[in-house]
Structure 1
Amino acid sequence: MTVSLDDLPLRDDLRGQQPYGAPQAPLPVALNVNENTHPIPDEVADDIADSVALALRDVNRYPDREFTALREGFAEYLGHGLEPEQIWAANGSNEVLQHLLQAFAGPGRTAFGFAPTYSMYTLLTRGVGATFVSGERGANFSLTPESAAAQVAEARPDVVFLCAPNNPTGTPLENDVVEAVYDATDGIVIVDEAYREFAPRDVPSALQLLPGRPRLVVSRTMSKAFAFAGARVGYLAADPAVVDALRLVRLPYHLSALTQAAASAALRHADTMLAMVDEIVEQRDRISATLEALGYTVYPTWSNFVLFGGVEDPHATWQALYDRGVLIRDIGIPGHLRVTAGTEDETSAFLGALAEIGR
């Protein structure tokens, strides 16, 4: 007997929904999910392996529930006078966001974001039984403080997502928008800085806005700049009271001893790990310049990827690249595709294949 979802007592609000589904395919050049395609340097990998091996000796015991050493490492890395009690971490930034929604959203509550934005905001919101409300962006997917604040004030959400820079468009978002939105709501404001390390270094992070704003949260990930996507480590900085709220919803011992050991070791080599960022930014800018020369519309980006428009048939172009061993992302915006900045060789392979295909 074959059973489908329709045969199960699934929650009504989940019926007809689709799971997160970025394609995974064993192609030579995979530039579709904004990974850091650079391998971890040998000396860093050796230290991580040694740390994990040491943690294995005590793996018969539960890990430190408060992941004390890791929180200390994140506080030191982020700077801005942050203390460990202001730090939270989980298995990827998606779980960090899920914890926030479990604590501050839920049935009868709403979360708000400016479309198009990170698709997981909607999925995570639905997962906790809350309603997701979409706001609008202006020209080139931008946001102004006035428009953003007005939309939030009208929607009166319990949680606001601000993706800085935005995914999937790469659009910069500066602190004046964050301040305006914070002042326009009584809810939790989450600034998702997953791609922060790829932004210009002279542009302030939302971390500097945390003092005096107890409802502001800044989330980060190790997946991108730290080349740690497979390790699944995300974190946030906020008022200690927000961290207390997250303890109410997290699963016991949610961060394994092996995860804590690996992440702490990687943080000890932050300078080495982040040295890759400059090369990625160089390839990102190379992609943007070449795409413009090929006649595509290229959007400003502070991330490790480039959104480009003017694609006559996105699916056909995506498939033609796929057939040439290059995997990029069709994000569902008509006439647009998105590509991750990889190594120099990967970037050359993408640009060469695209030039061969034509528009």
Structure 2
Amino acid sequence: MSKDNVNNLIGQVFSEIADAMESGSFGSRVKVGLTTLGSEHGVEELVKAAEMASNKYRDFEVVLIGPKVDTKLTVYEVSSEDEAHKVMEKLLDANEIQGCVTMHYNFPIGVSTVGRVITPAKGKEMILATTTGTSSTHRVEGMVKNAIYGIITAKACGIENPTVGILNVDGARQVERALKDLIAKGYEVNFTESVRADGGAVMRGNDLLTGTPDVMITDSLTGNILMKMFSSYTTGGSYEASGYGYGPGVGEGYGRLINIISRASGAPVICEALRYSATCAQNNIIEVSKNEFAKLYKAGLKDVLAKLTQASEKKETSSEEVVAPPKKVVTSSIAGIDILELEDAVKELWKKGVYSESGMGCTGPIVLIADDEADKAKEILTAAGYMS
């Protein structure tokens, strides 16, 4: 062996030792794939992102799945997006890579992606649960599952007891009640408080900007819009420049670590999406998910979700006509009723002889009642499950 080869080998060994010391592990590095076809910014942008990640982070290896390019990175050559996804799945299933970042991948129903953004007010990282995919065809059940997926992902990112908030969208109050049911049955959910004066676990726009919770729960469509706004509000929308992408697909029993980016994602986002995937692989998000679902089923998740769907089915099939009691002046209000249940809550009070009307306050839906019937109305609504 020549002197130059010996020197190169010694240099390589010392480099690997330095990488291991930096990452805190002397085992083999995880490999994260990146498919490079389909971006609006071209293959070059994705290769640039992969090389950025390789230079910035030394505790994981990036491999490319796409056309042949001039790079020192390993390339699995393919000529189409469909072929890239097939190769990606094959490599994941063979454990040749432990995670992958890609675009426009179709997850099965029950799996959705958990995004990660940097909020503008304080530069704080926040997890958005969820941003693509469909956790359930039932809206509220889907958002409860989104909460679970967000907690799982936060734990896979090293946050042992993540704070949780629920964005003030349709179904938020029902989600809050369902999660409180799980808490009462022994599953830990660490609710945070809104930065607004009235507090509570239901989050407002201010909480999005400040990153109040570690995990913000919402529906996937809203989460998708938020991801796009957080990632590209400084660029006009055509180039996503901030954050970690739309995140890993999470779902009960799902066994592949696949992170999603957008066709508009730029190199800075793709670089951090690779970091995000590597972190989830290093902390074994699939095992974290398995353990969390074991705890959830022990706490009665099946019954909590069944109660949500059964309540919806009951309302859809009910044809009962309810007549309002004699009209009264309504100057007292009750907040905390979900918008999807507001009219049903009003009719529940009518059934008990309490006149009420629906309204909308500055913080959300309200039920209006007479001052002298406020306490009675709260008792009725709590007993009927409209309030917690």
The higher radius of gyration belongs to 2
Pairwise same-fold verdict (TM > 0.5): no
- What TM-score comes out, normalization by structure 2 length? 0.28
Decide which structure has greater strand share.
2
